[in-house]
Structure formats: C-alpha cells, structure tokens
Structure 1
Amino acid sequence: MPSTFLGLVLLVVCLVPGFVYSAARDTVLPERTSSAFRETTRVVLASLALDTLALAVFGALRATAPGITPDVGRLVREGWGYARDHYLALAWWSLAVLAVAAVLGAGAARLLPRGAGPVTVESSWWLLLGRYPAEAGAKSAYVGCELVDGSYLGGTLKHFAHQAEETGDRELALVAPLEYRPQPGQPVRPLTGHQLVSVSARQIKFLTVTYLDHVPTDAPRPEPRGESTA
C-alpha cells in the first residue's frame, strides 16, 4: 500500500480504467457476486492492461509528434524540477491518457465476449428473457406468470432483474396488454386500467415466455413466434 497521500491518489487514479471496465461489464452481462479478492484482482489486472494500452498510444503519439507531448526523458532525469516547470501540460496529458484508458475499458467491456465453458453463471431469467430473445431476433416477449396462489398474470415484458443469483428478491415488470386470472379454473380476462405491473419471484410458481416478432399494443394478444417455459 502507498505510504503517502500522493501515492494513494496515484494508485486510485491508475485503477479507474479497471473500475470502468468492471462497471460497464455488469451493464451488458448478468451481475455476478464475487469475493473481494477476485473482484479486486479483476480491477487491478484490467487497469494494468488498459493503462499499458493507453501509454502505448501516448508513446506512438510522442514518437510521431514530439513537439506537442511532454518530454518523458526529461521528466525522468529532472524529476520535480521538470514537473514544476511544465505542470499544466503534464496535468492535461495525464488526464488525456486516463480518459483514453477509461474509454478503452468501456469499449472492451462491451465488445469482448465472455469465454465459453461448461459452467455458466447466467440465470434462467437472463437466458429466457435476455439472451434467447436476442438470438431469436425477437422484438418483444410475452411472459405468463403462474403464481403460487394459483392465480395467473401475463403481459409484455418491460424489464427484469439481471443478477445471476436466482433469489426470491428478483422482480420483473410487465406492460399492457395485461391478462389476469384470479383463481384456477376461471377464464383469463384482460386487466384493463393499468399500464404496468411488477411481479416478485417469490410469488411465481413457473413462467412461460413467448417470443414475438413485433411489439404488441394494448390490444388482444398477438400470435406467438416461439415459446419457452421455465
């Protein structure tokens, strides 16, 4: 650990690209729970790689246009003397290198695929409501929820919890057209007067997913494109 405040600040700044990469990764893939050691290692290694790439970009620019970049050789030889005389240019170029590393981290998080393997951390919700519809080219998904008390609730999927852990704390939201059946054996009827409904995973016995090739309006349910059950 750094022994000075300046060293601590530099360490935190150097880890910014790895944090950006990790945060951006969680927005495109299911959120996973990792140990503190594993998460820290991921951020540190990603920061090292991204900082190295950003410095390589700076090095290439330095080689092609030395007049507009700080003199790294003088900075190493003269230390604080050179830094005091050129502190403004050094500050701006440091921010530029950090910004390049952060942008590279955000881009890598979205473009790099997750490695294939026999074990997957994706939950059934993520596969049924996220990955499979995208692979099928569906524009929307109609979700029917059989609840633990025997009632039924169905509607077009609006959003759902992305975490990898399949816990009862997850929720999904359905948007009109909505359908509801209060008790088993009764007919399913339209649920009018409401635009959105939230359903807790604790109340769901099982759900069905129908992939649609268009976005339905508040009208009778369209014909399904393909159906999956969880």
Structure 2
Amino acid sequence: MEEALPVPTTLTGLLLFIVLLLPGLAYATIRDRRSAERRLSAFKETGSVVFASVISELFILGIFAITRASWPENTPDVGRLIREGADYAQDHYASLSLWAIGLLVLATLLASFVAWRAPSVPHESIMSAWWLIFERFHRDSDLYVGCVLEDGSFIQGRLASYNKSSDDSPDREIVLVGPLQYRPAGSTDSVEYPAGAVCLSARKMLAMFVSYLDPDLAEVEGEEEERQATSAA
C-alpha cells in the first residue's frame, strides 16, 4: 500500500518542505495541464516532483555562486553563514530572507518554464486508443467523429472535447458539436439533429470513425453552405 508524503510538524521542517517541493509542484502542475492525463504511482509522482525541484534549485544556486564570485559585497556570505550559523543569520536576516525568497521564486519560474516548453506528447505505448486517433494522427486537422451506439443508432459531429485519461475506461465521455448528423437504429438515412452539442459515454459505443479534414477547407465549405442557405431563404 502506497503511503502519502509525511507532513512536517515544525516550522523549520515546513519551510524545508516548501523549498524542496514548490518548484517541482509548479512543474508537475503545468506539465499535467499541457499533456494527457497519466496515472503514476505515488512513488513516481513524488520522485518527478523532487527531481524537478532539485535540478531547478541546483541550477539557480549555480547562478548565485557566479553572482557571489562577481559581486561578493552585494550577496550573502555563505561561508560566514556556515561558520557562524545563527549569529550571522540574526545579523543579516533581512537580506538572507530576501535572497532565499528570490532564489526560490527563480527556481519555481525556471521549473514552470521548462514544463511549458517541454514536449507535451507522451509515448503512445502508455496512452489510450482515443488519444491515438485524436492526437497522434493529423494533430492540425479538424476532427469529425461518427459513433455507432449499442442500440445500432449512429451520430456524427465535430469533436469539441474528450476525456484524455490514459486508461481505456468505459467511464469516459466525448463531446461533439454541430452540425450533428443522427441515424436511428434500422434506418439508412441520416438527418441533422436539432441540437448544438451532444455528450456520449464510451460505455454506450460500439465503434468510432474519425475523419481528418483540413481546417481551411472545412472553413470554406462552411461558408459555402451558409451562402447557399442564405440564397435559398
């Protein structure tokens, strides 16, 4: 059974906890918003957060070391802080606090920037079949999805949203927007359904068909259909 991270019970422990995890949490949050949902174990998720924090903080500390060597009079004396400890900290608590907060903010910004610029495409072996057909192939296309439901009916529309979980779970939904085409069970003719959007459950689907259309071509066709409808009116 996986255990959660222990919560610090002292002020010093809490501060160290924040310093250690804040950049990594920022990295993980932005990474998760930009990529498909992946369910990692608590150990792997904690490891990625700590690793991102340590790497970003070491990089910022390296920059601080260069700054310290170039302008020693304007930066905290780390040597004296180590030798004198609390005495030096008490005499220079204001500058030490500002530098500590500034370095932590820089490390967090660095981790956030890396997460924002990092490739958001995971390896296809860990992703769901939905992600493969919607994201892996022709990512710049307009997607038109047709679904055969368990009662034999068929509904088609433009993809608006879908559950990006990496698990092929039946408890997922897909949202299609108009124009919606609907064909009742046993019929061979499709009709335009009078609704702007529809939400379908994966549990009720038997098959899914996806068409990849060029966005510019789809826009031209839409304008042509609108002109024809206006002329007919």
Query: TM-score, normalised on structure 2?
Result: 0.81
Given candidates 170, 177, 182, the residue that maps to 1:175 is 177
Would you say how many aligned residue pairs link Structure 1 and Structure 2?
Answer: 217
- Shift, 1:185, TM fit: 2.4
Q: Deviations over 1:106-129 (max 9, x none)?
A: 222243448997x72011111211
Partner Cα separation in structure 2 for residue 24 and residue 183 of structure 1: 44
1:75 equivalent to 2:81? Answer: yes
Highest CA radius of gyration, 1 or 2?
2
Determine helix, strand or coil for the equivalent of 2:102. Answer: helix
- Shift, 1:172, TM fit: 1.5
In structure 2, the residue matched to 1:9 is 15
1:122 equivalent to 2:127? Answer: yes
Determine helix, strand or coil for the equivalent of 1:133. Answer: coil
Question: What does 1:78-117 align with in structure 2 at a 5 Å threshold?
Answer: 78-113=84-119
Q: Deviations over 1:32-53 (max 9, x none)?
A: 2122122222222222112111
Where does structure 2 lack aligned partners over 5 or more consecutive residues?
Answer: 1-5, 226-233
Moved more, 13-22 or 103-112: 103-112
- Shift, 1:207, TM fit: 0.9
Amino acid at match of 2:144: Y
Amino acid at match of 2:150: V
CA RMSD of aligned residues (A): 2.8
- Shift, 1:221, TM fit: 11
Where does structure 1 lack aligned partners over 5 or more consecutive residues?
Answer: 223-230
Q: Is the 8 A contact 1:177 1:221 kept in 2?
A: no
Amino acid at match of 1:198: C
Q: Deviations over 1:109-164 (max 9, x none)?
A: 243448997x7201111121123232xx32x2111111111111111111111110
In structure 1, the residue matched to 2:202 is 201
Q: Deviations over 1:5-64 (max 9, x none)?
A: 312331232111112222222222222212212222222222211211121122222233
Partner Cα separation in structure 1 for residue 29 and residue 224 of structure 2: 37
Determine helix, strand or coil for the equivalent of 1:156. Answer: strand
Given candidates 19, 28, 31, the residue that maps to 1:25 is 31
Amino acid at match of 2:132: L
Partner Cα separation in structure 2 for residue 37 and residue 199 of structure 1: 34
Determine helix, strand or coil for the equivalent of 1:120. Answer: helix
